[in-house]
């Protein structure tokens, strides 16, 4: 529950009744200074100009007052529709109404100022509608053609209609002896343009009406798409493993004319050795007791071998995440990864929760066992800071991205990487490589800011400058310690997604736990691009997502241990320095709620959803971690204990556990009661 206070200096402050904290502060003059809402919307002569040619007064530009005179909340018929799909399972929605409560239509805060009338979204304090009282308006009954203006408002009074579809606003002028009655009306529309979703007009009788909008309804974008893969989709591409030479034909070459060249004389079968070069036998007879085991291991697939490295993802059906549990805010333990202070750039739990990967500023990546047993596996091979480290969905591989302009794929039982992604197009070396092909396959121009597995480990997605790169890859298991240096692992570029009008993609987010076509990318121009990988193009561009560049995107991915309604996966969080955290609904392209309270002025701090989708956690520059309920703009808990900026956070997928990392290289673990 909230309450709002307006002041004569043009500021509106929103307070939380439970925590008694100020969760929003809006300054009217700042809103009018934005490009979308210019201060002078009227074509008439400005009130601030005073000119008297008879007395020889000079022109003076006076500042218009923006004192807040009246505030009221209105639960009108907003243009957003969050109706449940007809084929949605009712049992999923009845079990947890948290998501539906978050997505319900917000109340509108109406602010009457001396010069303007503002309509705000009460959850985010985003401006829905702005009316300049100096803008000439015609009377709604059409009896005259005069244009009425309100020079300076002196008082306001609001009254909602019986059906709550419109609200009447009585405005009294401070200078003139006149009272104006305005009708603010919401129109039912699916348009994403919030500013055009309201109308305001002079109202004198009950016969006025407003025509419904005829805006074209765009096809809905959702994370869980029911559409099949289209023909020619980039997601249909497959990189086949390298075909080996047939047995006994290695080195055999056939010229273009079809005639075989002269070959040295060889036996078709192996010749039995005389035995002089063999070592003397130490035993007359030794049975092969492990012959069956070796045979079964030899026919084991490469994917099943890799699954044994980072832990098996299978789980009992009885393992379910407790969705009704309290947030994990009780301190459990602290771990120092290194004896020296080194920044932790990212940390992620594996899909089964048995491992956790960390990317550090000492050019290395680390993997810990969960619960922590004191053993830490290090992966050394990068030449610069490691920006991200992520374990694959089947817990068999580790993907890292670094400032050394490379991304690497690792496995648990090898110190060297299985695959080094350093060239843009591929690492497939033909027998005859022309200079032109080598020139086209250049190295990455700048550092790789992030790399992630995508589409349930089928692809690797990484970002560099203003482009996203989608790769196929193939990992072959080495059969011996000698042959593992003769790598046959390959990757190939499927598609490059370039955003022309931006300089850099600061971060991106994709879902690897289930099949989804949607990829979100934050750009350096404060916009957010929504990619549909099925069609291989940008399907939406959200402008001015934050007041500053977005540095973190977090999608609500849930986990394999909990089930949510489909609308819950369309929620995602964005964070920017000095602009708080915003919760978005992908389907309606609107900000659902805004969260403040943590400190973030310059550093990149992580954000993570809990598997139950009821909470999220964020780092902060005041050496604390903040836990929020997504239904309330004020934070629930503040977790202290770190000695520097908390740079990254993540929730355990199977149980209420929270892990946080700081710039000192220290990890903190929290659990519920």
Give the rounded percent of residues in the chain with a pLDDT score beyond 90: 46
**CA-to-CA distance for 147 and 45, rounded, in angstroms?**
14
Instruction: Pick 210 or 108 by higher pLDDT.
Output: 108
d(CA 498, CA 197): 33
Residue owning tokens 């904290």: 21
CATH architecture of 330-426+442-671: 7 Propeller (2.130)
What integer is the mean pLDDT of 541-553?
Answer: 95
pLDDT score recorded for residue 165: 77
Paired residues of 111 in beta bridges: 71, 118
The domains of the chain are located at 2-41+61-202, 330-426+442-671
> Which of the pair, 62 or 112, is modelled with greater confidence?
112
Residue 454: pLDDT band by 50, 70, 90 thresholds?
very high
Kindly report, residue by residue over 48-84, the tens digit of the pLDDT.
Answer: 444 444 444 444 444 567 888 888 888 765 444 444 4
pLDDT digits (tens, 9 = 90+) for 276-322: 555 555 554 455 544 444 443 333 333 444 444 555 445 554 578 99
DSSP string, 540-564: EEE--SSSS-EEEEEE----TT---
Joined together, the tokens standing for residue 196 give 């055009």
pTM exceeds cut of 0.85 = no
Tokens for 120?
Answer: 């705000």
Return d(Cα 148, Cα 596) in angstroms, integer.
41
- The three-state secondary structure class of 474 is strand
pLDDT at residue 145 is higher than 70? no
Under 8 Å between Cβ of 20 and 125:
no
Q: What's the pLDDT tens digit per position in 169-189?
A: 888 887 777 788 888 876 544
Q: Is the pLDDT of residue 633 over 70?
A: yes
pLDDT digits (tens, 9 = 90+) for 200-227: 555 433 333 333 333 444 567 899 988 8
Of 327, 349, 320, 373, give the one whose Cα is nearest residue 671.
327
Tokens for 74?
């209105």
DSSP output for 600-648: -SSS---EEE-TTSSEEEEE-TTSEEEEEETT-SSEEEEEE--SS-EEE
| Tens-place pLDDT, residues 186-202 | 654 443 333 334 555 55
Pairwise CA distance, residues 107 & 11, whole Å: 19
Residue 91 confidence (pLDDT): 38
pLDDT score recorded for residue 242: 65
Please work out, in degrees rounded to the nearest 5, the angle formed at the alpha carbon of residue 119 by the alpha carbons of 118 and 122: 125
Structure tokens at 590: 């609107």
Sign of CA dihedral 260, 262, 267, 273: negative
């Amino acid at each position: 529950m909230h309450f709002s206070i307006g002041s004569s200096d043009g500021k509106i402050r929103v307070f939380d009744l439970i925590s008694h904290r100020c969760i929003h502060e809006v300054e009217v003059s700042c809103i009018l200074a934005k490009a979308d809402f210019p201060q002078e919307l009227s074509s008439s002569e400005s009130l601030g100009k005073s000119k008297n040619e008879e007395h020889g007064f000079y022109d003076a530009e006076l500042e218009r007052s923006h004192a807040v005179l009246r505030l009221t909340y209105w639960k009108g018929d907003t243009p957003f529709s969050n109706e449940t799909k007809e084929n949605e399972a009712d049992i999923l929605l009845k079990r947890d109404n948290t998501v539906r409560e978050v997505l319900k239509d917000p109340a509108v805060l109406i602010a009457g100022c001396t010069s303007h009338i503002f309509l705000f979204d009460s959850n985010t304090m985003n401006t829905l509608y702005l009316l300049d009282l100096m803008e000439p308006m015609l009377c709604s009954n059409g009896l005259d053609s005069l244009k009425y203006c309100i020079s300076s408002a002196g008082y306001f009074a609001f009254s909602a209609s019986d059906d709550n579809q419109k609200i009447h606003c009585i405005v009294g002028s401070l200078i003139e002896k006149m009272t104006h009655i305005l009708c603010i009306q919401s129109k039912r529309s699916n348009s994403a343009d919030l500013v055009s979703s309201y109308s305001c007009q002079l109202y004198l009788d009950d016969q006025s009406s407003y025509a419904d909008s005829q805006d074209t309804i765009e096809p809905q974008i959702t994370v869980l798409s029911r559409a099949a893969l289209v023909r020619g989709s980039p997601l249909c591409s497959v990189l086949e493993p390298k075909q080996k030479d047939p047995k006994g034909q290695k080195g055999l070459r056939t010229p273009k004319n079809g005639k075989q060249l002269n070959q040295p004389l060889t036996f078709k079968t192996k010749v039995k050795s005389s035995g002089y070069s063999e070592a003397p036998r130490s035993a007359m007879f030794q049975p092969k007791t492990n012959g069956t085991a070796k045979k079964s291991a030899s026919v084991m697939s490469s994917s099943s071998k890799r699954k044994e490295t980072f832990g098996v993802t299978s789980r009992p059906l009885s393992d379910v995440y407790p969705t009704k549990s309290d947030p994990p805010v009780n301190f459990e333990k602290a771990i120092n990864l290194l004896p020296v202070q080194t920044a932790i750039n990212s940390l992620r739990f594996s899909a089964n929760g048995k491992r956790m990967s960390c990317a550090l500023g000492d050019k290395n990546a680390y993997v810990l066992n969960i619960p922590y047993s004191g053993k830490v596996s290090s992966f050394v091979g990068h030449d610069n800071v490691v920006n991200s480290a992520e374990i694959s969905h089947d817990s068999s591989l580790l993907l890292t991205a670094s400032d050394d302009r490379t991304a690497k794929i690792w496995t648990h039982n090898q110190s060297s990487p299985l695959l080094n992604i350093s060239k843009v197009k591929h690492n497939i070396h033909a027998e005859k490589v022309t200079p032109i092909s080598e020139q086209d396959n250049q190295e990455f121009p700048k550092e790789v800011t992030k790399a992630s597995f995508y589409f349930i480990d089928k692809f690797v997605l990484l970002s560099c400058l203003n482009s996203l790169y989608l790769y196929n890859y193939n990992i072959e298991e080495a059969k011996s310690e000698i042959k593992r240096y003769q790598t046959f692992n390959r990757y190939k570029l499927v598609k490059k997604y370039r955003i022309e009008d931006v300089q850099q993609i600061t971060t991106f987010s994709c879902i690897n736990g289930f099949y989804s076509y949607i990829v979100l990318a934050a750009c350096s121009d404060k916009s957010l691009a929504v990619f549909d990988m099925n069609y291989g193009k940008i399907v939406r561009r959200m402008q001015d997502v934050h007041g500053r560049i977005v540095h973190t995107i977090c999608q609500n991915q849930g986990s394999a241990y909990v089930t949510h309604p489909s609308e819950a996966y369309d929620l995602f969080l964005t964070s920017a320095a000095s602009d708080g955290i915003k919760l978005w609904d992908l389907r309606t392209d609107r900000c659902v709620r805004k969260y403040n309270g943590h400190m973030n002025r310059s550093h990149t701090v992580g954000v993570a959803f809990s598997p139950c989708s009821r909470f999220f956690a964020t780092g902060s520059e005041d050496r604390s971690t903040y836990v929020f309920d997504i239904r309330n703009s004020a934070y629930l808990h503040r977790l202290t204990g770190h000695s520097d900026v908390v740079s990254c956070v993540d929730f355990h997928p199977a149980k209420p556990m929270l892990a946080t990392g700081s710039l000192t290289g220290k990890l903190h673990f929290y659990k519920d009661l």
